């Protein structure tokens, strides 16, 4: 998202300048006016920068830095320090970065009498609504460290689950890249060397050898054009993926892929259930809790389905029945949620649902990891074996003719 430099007249009568991140000028202006501020001047920063310069200049804090801050902040609050003093202690380290700049603004807001959750809510484009809701619940109960500890526990589970998914994807990706490189190397450099010898000797080539020769010749003579086409297709896919329609289509397609779609779906069911359970435990109403869960979803298609659930909940429908009408969530999960809803133990059941589908993701990833290697090796061996056979078949025919 772009960054805007704003001159703002605050509700207290002061004038401040801030760099804020938002989707566009209209949404940023509306957000500031809702907080009681008046926007005097706004301009988009970074004009004239290249795509790569924007990537280098953008200072987005890392999730591990944010978790480290929360852990330290929680310890200081437990030790009896007031919120402002705790923030001052953290800021004394004088670390550079956007997180530190945000903490300075939050410290000033709290010092002026604002609540911690409201201060973080101003940065909802960088901080999740779930985190803000956790802080609000901690302020309401008078125990912010407990709320932060729950948030940290939740994030550690989610990051561990995400890491398992990423780790299971790395090895197959490496195998696919290596296999593709070997295949292109054989077709572009090895095959022409053999074929030149055959043509010089006037050898009649079998059909599979001719097919390989033609394919290798096309690749070698049009390598630059093919490379540019691949780059163009990749850029087109990247642009399409960033569009609303493209992202919706791709996210929907991910759920439909056999086996992999189940892993993807179960991962998000586990994530949503865990988030919803944590937010409900903080005392947030169901509709608001589901909205916060929707904001944590990384899948556009599933997020739209959850927003449909929110609409049905507002109309008075039950949670499990609303999920059933989306036709995308697993029926087993819906039955478990229905039982918990009927028994008044929705939070506990949601935790059980999250644990169940987290274990399901683990199991499926183990199956995928153990099966993908031999499958890829067989495919790679078949392709290389086909090339070797096509190259040596003329030699075998020639040897038979001589005999």
Residue 7, phi then psi, degrees to nearest 5: -110, 120
- Residue 46 pLDDT exceeds 60: no
User: Which own/partner pairs from 193-202 qualify as long-range (CB within 8 Å, at least 24 positions apart)?
Assistant: 194/391, 198/394
Higher pLDDT, 10 or 323: 323
Alpha helix positions (H), 222-243? 223-242
User: Which own/partner pairs from 118-124 qualify as long-range (CB within 8 Å, at least 24 positions apart)?
Assistant: 122/35
Mean pLDDT, the chain, integer: 80
* 233 pLDDT tier (thresholds 50, 70, 90): very high
Q: Which residues contact 42 (CB under 8 A, 6 or more apart)?
A: 4, 5, 6, 7, 25, 28, 29
Per cent of the chain over pLDDT 70 is 89
* 232 pLDDT tier (thresholds 50, 70, 90): very high
* 53 pLDDT tier (thresholds 50, 70, 90): very low
Other C-beta atoms within 10 Å of 137: how many?
A: 22
Q: Which residues contact 83 (CB under 8 A, 6 or more apart)?
A: 77, 110, 116, 144
Question: Domains in the chain, ordered, with CATH?
Answer: 3-57 (no CATH), 63-156 (1.20.81.30), 165-403 (1.20.81.30)
> What pLDDT is attached to residue 367?
83
Three-state DSSP state, 68: helix
- Residue 77 pLDDT exceeds 50: yes
* 231 pLDDT tier (thresholds 50, 70, 90): very high
Per cent of the chain over pLDDT 90 is 4
- Residue 45 pLDDT exceeds 70: no
Report the C-alpha gap between 164 and 120 in whole angstroms: 30
> What pLDDT is attached to residue 263?
85
* 1 pLDDT tier (thresholds 50, 70, 90): low
- Residue 357 pLDDT exceeds 60: yes
> Left (φ > 0), alpha (ψ -120 to 50) or beta: where does 80 sit?
left
Mean pLDDT calculated for residue range 135-157: 83
> What pLDDT is attached to residue 396?
72
């Amino acid at each position: 998202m772009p960054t805007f430099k704003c001159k703002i007249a605050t509700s207290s009568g002061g004038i401040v300048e801030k760099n804020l991140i938002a989707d566009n000028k209209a949404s940023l202006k509306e957000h500031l006016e809702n907080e009681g501020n008046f926007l005097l001047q706004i301009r988009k920063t970074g004009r004239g920068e290249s795509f790569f310069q924007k990537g280098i200049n953008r200072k987005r804090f890392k999730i591990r830095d944010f978790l480290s801050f929360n852990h330290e902040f929680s310890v200081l609050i437990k030790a009896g320090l007031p919120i402002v003093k705790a923030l001052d202690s953290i800021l004394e380290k004088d670390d550079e970065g956007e997180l530190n700049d945000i903490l300075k603004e939050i410290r000033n807001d709290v010092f002026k009498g604002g609540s911690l959750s409201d201060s973080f809510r101003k940065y909802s484009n960088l901080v999740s609504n779930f985190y803000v809701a956790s802080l609000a619940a901690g302020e309401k109960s008078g125990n912010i460290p407990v709320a932060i500890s729950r948030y940290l526990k939740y994030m550690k589970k989610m990051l561990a689950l995400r890491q398992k998914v990423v780790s299971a994807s790395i090895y197959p990706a490496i195998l696919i890249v290596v296999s593709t490189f070997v295949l292109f190397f054989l077709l572009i450099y090895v095959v022409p060397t053999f074929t030149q010898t055959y043509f010089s000797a006037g050898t009649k080539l079998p059909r599979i050898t001719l097919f390989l020769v033609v394919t290798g010749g096309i690749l070698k003579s049009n390598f630059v054009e093919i490379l540019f086409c691949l780059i163009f297709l990749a850029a087109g896919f990247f642009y399409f993926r960033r569009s609303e329609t493209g992202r919706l289509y791709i996210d929907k397609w991910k759920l439909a892929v056999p086996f992999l779609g189940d892993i993807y779906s179960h991962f998000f069911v586990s994530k949503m259930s865990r988030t919803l359970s944590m937010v409900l435990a903080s005392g947030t109403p169901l509709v608001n809790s589901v909205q916060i869960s929707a904001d944590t979803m990384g899948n556009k298609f599933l997020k739209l389905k959850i927003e449909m659930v929110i609409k049905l909940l507002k109309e008075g429908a039950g949670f499990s029945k609303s999920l059933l009408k989306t036709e995308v969530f697993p029926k087993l999960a819906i039955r478990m949620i229905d039982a918990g809803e009927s028994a008044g133990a929705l939070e506990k059941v949601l935790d059980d649902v999250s644990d169940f589908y987290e274990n399901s993701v683990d199991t499926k990833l183990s199956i995928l990891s153990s099966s993908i290697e031999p499958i890829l090796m067989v495919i790679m061996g078949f392709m290389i074996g086909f090339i070797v056979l096509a190259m040596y078949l003329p030699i075998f025919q020639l040897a038979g003719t001589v005999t």
